[in-house]
């Protein structure tokens, strides 16, 4: 009986997730259908003959009925064939799958690396800030995070890059020379403490693992700064909300120690909000990844998508959008399922 | 009706009703330092944006012979990659970036709020239809969605405004609907309904005044979000197109300077950051003073 109700809700969520993915795929697919009528003419240029225009339209599939096109698109996609890029020419076909695959690995690498740093850091900071509410620690962390939330990602990224470059250039600037000597020297010394992370993420297939980590360090730190602020504030709010409920007061009044109250009483109910917070922020990473990859020229899906949008290479844009949307939906789905599966009220129904 | 009038007058005599202006003055007197700072910054930005041609030393697209000139007396912050004065571009950038973000937020609010309140008022199939549409739109990250739509429609300012307004109105819709649902069950709304008021009256006179405070705060937050999205898109090179001065694209175009240890590219990025911080401070204070409600974004 008890497994039944949980399993039923989980299955419901799974179904809902699949339906969402289905509708989203239709929207992304109809992107091509929404292309302005003269798209083929526009990409081929002024000198295009009617035959070449018709050929391109046939290649994109604009000459077949939409429903048929959708199912052939989905069918091919499930087999891993995302079609070919508009950048491919006759005799030189570039499939979207072969363009995306190595980049997807890079992006997942960056995201996982960021998550491994950011999630424990944010949860730790959030829990400490909630436990010592209104202490100086809490206030400092709150002000700093409210400020970093308001910063655009590229501002943080360039600030970090600037900091690292200043290691070498600071002593030579007019500003440094206008300062008293002792101050300039101590600033220079402080700057030299910062490790010299590469400001351009130069990565290819042969890059060894630890080199990859080293070169992805700066993008990863930027993303960490962006999402830690969100995650920490939300964790703090979730824990505070939990600690103010009557049953926690009850546990305290029974004479339980603070550790027992948090671990045995607060945590089981706090899992759901915490997991939601983590998933929400990992989903938020998707947006951050696009910008940070462009700043540090990190060869990932985000950068690919931006390049494809600029050159209006719609099949590549579609595939990237589908990858991002699927990741987003999947993360939200996992969060939902975990919060259902850890909900004590559902696990112990009356 | 006639017997009610003296009653109203007597109660009025006892308690002086505060006018809206005096209430505002009282709230301002108690505003914390961060809110004052925020309002000051916003005022500066607005003045700069409105009087850009009078303040700027040169014209928006005036090109000088030296590209990437250093900071000097002639060019306060140097020149950009084409030899245009940086300070002038920053000032005009305020006008373009803030202006477009403001128009977009207004559109998104007009649409989101009207539809949200209508959905709350009529419920039924209209509510279902709109809510499910919003669910789907929100299941794709908005930056990704915006990138996809821009690749189809091309990046022009009208399409930028419409796309972002559409994507952003989903969040306004959710809030307006949620707040509206609490208001439509009130007795005075029911009374108005029984009086036979039309939908426009219901929306404007009965519901809107009571849902306004959270929505005004949301306007500030949404403005920040729209502003950052547009800046990000411009930074990626698919937003506001040259030769219009715009902070996001200014960062991208001058980013190479950073590798020489020059802070100039950080100025437009800092301008964006400062404005969002300022708006956040004001919204934070506003939310605290109008209700206990505070949502962590």
How far apart are alpha carbons A5 and A13 in whole angstroms?
12
Question: What is the nearest CA distance from A152 to chain B, expressed in angstroms?
Answer: 6
Return the HEC string of B51-91.
CHHHHCCCCCCCECCCCCCCCCCCCCCCECCCCEEHHHHHH
Average pLDDT over residues B208-224: 85
Q: Is B48 exposed, middle or buried (0-12, 13-18, 19+ CB in 10 A)?
A: buried
Q: Residue A321 and residue B224: Cβ atoms within 8 Å? A: no
∠ Cα B191 B195 B200 (to 5°): 95
Model confidence pLDDT, tens digit, residues A17-33: 888 888 888 888 777 66
**Among the partner residues B152, B232, B270, nearest to A314 by beta-carbon distance:** B152
Which residues from chain A sit within 8 angstroms of residue B277, using beta carbons? 147, 150-151
Q: A179 to each of A183, A192, B3, B72, how far by Cα in Å?
A: 7, 18, 80, 19
Please, what are the domains in chain A?
82-347 (1.10.3720.10)
Model confidence pLDDT, tens digit, residues B259-273: 777 788 888 888 998
Question: What is the nearest CA distance from A116 to chain B, expressed in angstroms?
Answer: 22
B85 three-state secondary structure: strand
Residue B13 scores a pLDDT above 60: no
**Residue of A264, A302, A58, A114 whose CA lies nearest to B236:** A302
H-only helix segments in chain B:
4-14, 20-29, 33-50, 52-55, 86-93, 99-122, 124-138, 142-153, 157-184, 187-195, 199-201, 208-235, 247-254, 266-290
Does B148 contact chain A (CB < 8 Å)? yes
**Are the beta carbons of A91 and A281 closer than 8 angstroms?**
no
How many Cβ pairs within 8 Å bridge chains A and B?
141
| Predicted pLDDT of residue A183 | 75
Max CA pair span of chain B: 81
Model confidence pLDDT, tens digit, residues B158-193: 989 999 999 999 999 999 998 888 888 888 888 888
Instruction: Write down the mean pLDDT value for chain B.
Output: 82
Model confidence pLDDT, tens digit, residues A98-153: 888 888 888 888 888 998 999 899 888 888 887 777 778 888 888 788 778 778 88
How far apart are alpha carbons A145 and B19 in whole angstroms?
38
Which residues from chain B sit within 8 angstroms of residue A161, using beta carbons? 258
Q: Which of A71-75, A97-101, A214-218, B6-10 has the lowest mean pLDDT?
A: B6-10
Optimal mutation site among A129, A199, A309, interface B, most CBs of chain B within 10 A: A309
| Predicted pLDDT of residue A153 | 84
Question: What is the nearest CA distance from B183 to chain A, expressed in angstroms?
Answer: 26
| Predicted pLDDT of residue B296 | 38
Question: What is the nearest CA distance from B162 to chain A, expressed in angstroms?
Answer: 16
H-only helix segments in A79-203:
96-131, 136-150, 153-169, 174-178, 181-193
Of B111 and B285, more confident: B111
| Nearest residue on chain A to B239, alpha-carbon basis | A310
How far apart are alpha carbons B117 and B183 in whole angstroms?
10
Q: Is A9 exposed, middle or buried (0-12, 13-18, 19+ CB in 10 A)?
A: middle
How far apart are alpha carbons A240 and A257 in whole angstroms?
18
Q: Residue B144 and residue A308: Cβ atoms within 8 Å? A: no
Place of tokens 């049953």: A247
Residue B145 scores a pLDDT above 80: yes
Q: Residue B136 and residue A23: Cβ atoms within 8 Å? A: yes
Average pLDDT over residues B248-266: 82
| Predicted pLDDT of residue B142 | 85
Average pLDDT over residues A238-265: 82
Residue A210 has which token pair?
A: 């630890």
Residue B9 has which token pair?
A: 């007058």
| Predicted pLDDT of residue A43 | 63
Residue B27 has which token pair?
A: 């709230």
**Structure confidence at residue B112 as a pLDDT band (50, 70, 90):** very high
Which residues from chain A sit within 8 angstroms of residue B266, using beta carbons? 155, 158-159, 162
Question: What is the nearest CA distance from A296 to chain B, expressed in angstroms?
Answer: 11
pTM for the predicted model, two decimal places: 0.81
Instruction: Write down the mean pLDDT value for chain A.
Output: 78
| Nearest residue on chain B to A34, alpha-carbon basis | B152
Which residues from chain B sit within 8 angstroms of residue A34, using beta carbons? 152
Q: Residue B237 and residue A328: Cβ atoms within 8 Å? A: no
Q: Which of A83-92, A115-124, B275-284 has the lowest mean pLDDT?
A: A83-92
Q: Residue B297 and residue A149: Cβ atoms within 8 Å? A: yes
Following DSSP, what letter does each residue of B168-191 receive, concatenated? HHHHHHHHHHHHHHHHHTSHHHHH
Model confidence pLDDT, tens digit, residues A293-326: 888 888 888 888 888 888 877 788 888 888 888 8
- The kind and range of the H/E element at B139 are none
Of B28 and A21, more confident: A21
- The kind and range of the H/E element at B82 are none
Residue A290 has which token pair?
A: 């696009």
Please, what are the domains in chain B?
96-291 (1.10.3720.10)
B295 three-state secondary structure: coil
How far apart are alpha carbons B233 and A338 in whole angstroms?
34
Place of tokens 């796309």: B163
How far apart are alpha carbons B256 and B262 in whole angstroms?
9
**Structure confidence at residue B217 as a pLDDT band (50, 70, 90):** confident
Q: Which of A7-11, A104-108, B155-159, B274-278 has the lowest mean pLDDT?
A: A7-11
Residue B297 scores a pLDDT above 50: no
| Nearest residue on chain B to A232, alpha-carbon basis | B296
What is the ipTM, given to two decimal places? 0.78
Residue B5 scores a pLDDT above 60: no
Question: What is the nearest CA distance from A126 to chain B, expressed in angstroms?
Answer: 13
| Predicted pLDDT of residue A349 | 58
| Predicted pLDDT of residue A48 | 67
Which residues from chain B sit within 8 angstroms of residue A146, using beta carbons? 280, 284
Model confidence pLDDT, tens digit, residues B58-77: 887 777 777 777 777 777 77
Model confidence pLDDT, tens digit, residues A18-72: 888 888 888 887 776 666 555 666 666 666 677 777 777 676 666 667 677 777 7
| Predicted pLDDT of residue A41 | 61
Q: B148 to each of A20, A57, A219, B172, how far by Cα in Å?
A: 18, 20, 24, 22
Place of tokens 């910062």: A194
């Amino acid at each position: 009986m008890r497994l039944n109700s949980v399993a039923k809700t989980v299955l419901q969520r799974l179904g809902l997730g699949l339906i969402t993915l289905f509708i989203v795929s239709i929207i992304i697919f109809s992107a091509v259908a929404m292309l302005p009528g003269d798209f083929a003419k526009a990409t081929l240029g002024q000198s295009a003959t009617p035959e070449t225009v018709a050929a391109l339209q046939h290649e994109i599939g604009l000459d077949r009925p939409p429903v048929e096109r959708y199912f052939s698109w989905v069918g091919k996609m499930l087999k891993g064939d995302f079609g070919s890029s508009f950048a491919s020419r006759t005799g030189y076909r570039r499939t979207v799958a072969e363009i995306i695959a190595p980049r997807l690995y890079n992006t997942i690498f960056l995201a996982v690396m960021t998550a491994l740093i950011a999630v424990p850091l944010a949860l730790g900071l959030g829990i400490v800030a909630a436990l010592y509410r209104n202490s100086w620690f809490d206030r400092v962390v709150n002000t700093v995070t409210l400020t970093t939330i308001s910063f655009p990602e590229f501002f943080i990224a360039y600030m970090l890059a600037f900091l690292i470059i200043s290691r070498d250039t600071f002593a030579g600037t007019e500003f440094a020379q206008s300062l008293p000597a002792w101050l300039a020297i101590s600033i220079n010394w402080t700057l030299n403490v910062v490790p010299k992370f590469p400001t351009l993420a130069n990565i290819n297939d042969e890059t060894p693992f630890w080199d990859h980590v080293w070169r992805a360090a700066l993008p990863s730190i930027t993303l960490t700064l962006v999402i830690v602020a969100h995650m920490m504030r939300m964790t703090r709010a979730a824990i505070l909300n939990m600690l103010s409920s009557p049953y926690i007061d009850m546990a305290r009044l029974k004479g339980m120690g603070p550790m027992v109250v948090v671990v045995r009483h607060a945590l089981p109910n706090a899992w759901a909000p915490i997991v939601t917070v983590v998933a929400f922020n990992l989903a938020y990473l998707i947006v951050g990844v696009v910008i940070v990859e462009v700043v540090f020229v990190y060869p990932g899906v985000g950068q690919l998508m931006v390049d494809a949008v600029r050159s209006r290479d719609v099949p590549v844009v579609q595939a990237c959008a589908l990858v991002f949307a699927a990741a987003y939906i999947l993360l939200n789905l996992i969060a939902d399922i975990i919060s259902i599966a850890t909900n004590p009220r559902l696990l112990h129904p009356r | 009706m006639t017997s009610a009038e003296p009653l109203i007058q007597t109660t009025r005599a006892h308690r002086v009703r505060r006018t809206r202006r005096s209430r505002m003055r009282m709230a301002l007197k108690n505003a914390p330092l961060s809110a004052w700072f925020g309002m000051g910054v916003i005022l500066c930005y607005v003045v700069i944006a409105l009087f850009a041609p009078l303040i700027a030393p040169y014209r928006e697209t005036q090109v000088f012979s030296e590209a990437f000139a250093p900071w000097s007396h002639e060019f306060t912050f140097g020149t950009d990659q084409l030899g245009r004065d940086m300070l002038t571009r920053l000032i005009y950038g305020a006008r373009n970036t803030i202006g477009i973000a403001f128009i977009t937020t207004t559109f998104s609010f007009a649409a989101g709020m009207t539809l949200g309140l209508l959905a709350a008022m009529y419920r039924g199939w209209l509510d279902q239809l709109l809510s499910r549409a919003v669910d789907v739109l929100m299941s794709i990250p908005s930056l990704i969605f915006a990138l996809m739509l821009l690749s189809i429609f091309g990046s022009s300012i009208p399409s930028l405004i419409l796309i972002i307004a559409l994507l952003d109105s989903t969040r306004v819709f959710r809030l307006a609907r949620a707040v509206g649902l609490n208001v439509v069950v009130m007795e005075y709304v029911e009374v108005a309904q029984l009086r036979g008021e039309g939908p426009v009256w219901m929306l404007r006179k009965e519901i809107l005044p009571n849902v306004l405070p959270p929505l005004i705060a949301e306007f500030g937050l949404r403005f920040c979000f729209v502003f950052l999205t547009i800046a990000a898109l411009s930074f990626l090179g698919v937003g506001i197109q040259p030769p219009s001065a715009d902070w996001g694209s200014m960062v991208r175009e001058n980013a190479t300077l950073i590798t020489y240890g020059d802070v100039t590219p950080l100025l437009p990025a800092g301008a964006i950051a400062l404005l969002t911080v300022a708006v956040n401070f004001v919204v934070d204070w506003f939310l605290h003073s109008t209700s206990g409600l505070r949502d962590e974004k």
